[in-house]
Amino acid sequence: MSTLAAALKGEIEAAARRAAREQQEALRRSLWQSRAEVQELRRQLGAMERRLARLERGNAVVDRRLPRAGEVQPPAAPQLRFSAKGFAGLRRRLGLSAAAMGSLVGVTAQSVYKWEDGKARPRAGQLQAIAAVRTLGKREAVARLAQREAPARLRA
């Protein structure tokens, strides 16, 4: 009878080990899924925090522009847009070198090249100057350049 009891005991232990292994594997899968869900939630949280920060920065700018009580706000100026391709086309249309275009706008030739390559963007004041140059024809642009160079020659 002792062999029967030992065999029975061995079978029970093997069955218990199998059941424990199956439960352990199920728990591992569940843990893996939970970790993946936590990672995804962290990614989403980070994206939402960045979006919120961007929105808050945008609201701060808008809040500063809001008129105070009793203040009359002047009409808003039209929003100026800039396109590197359009700027390069303007320079080509006027037949100007980068240095000449820079002189008209009030910047260096290097700035003009960077704007055209899309490596940099003009500031608000420079956008105003570019908008003014857009209204010029080729003759007017050359005349303005000549006016700017004449006082420089007198100083030299």
Question: Is the pTM value of this prediction over 0.85?
Answer: no
pLDDT digits over 19-57, tens only?
A: 999 999 999 999 999 999 999 999 999 999 988 888 887
The 8-class DSSP code of residue 77 comes to P
What is the Cα–Cα distance from 65 to 76, expressed in whole angstroms? 11
CA 45 to chain centre: 19
pLDDT grade, residue 66 (50/70/90)?
low
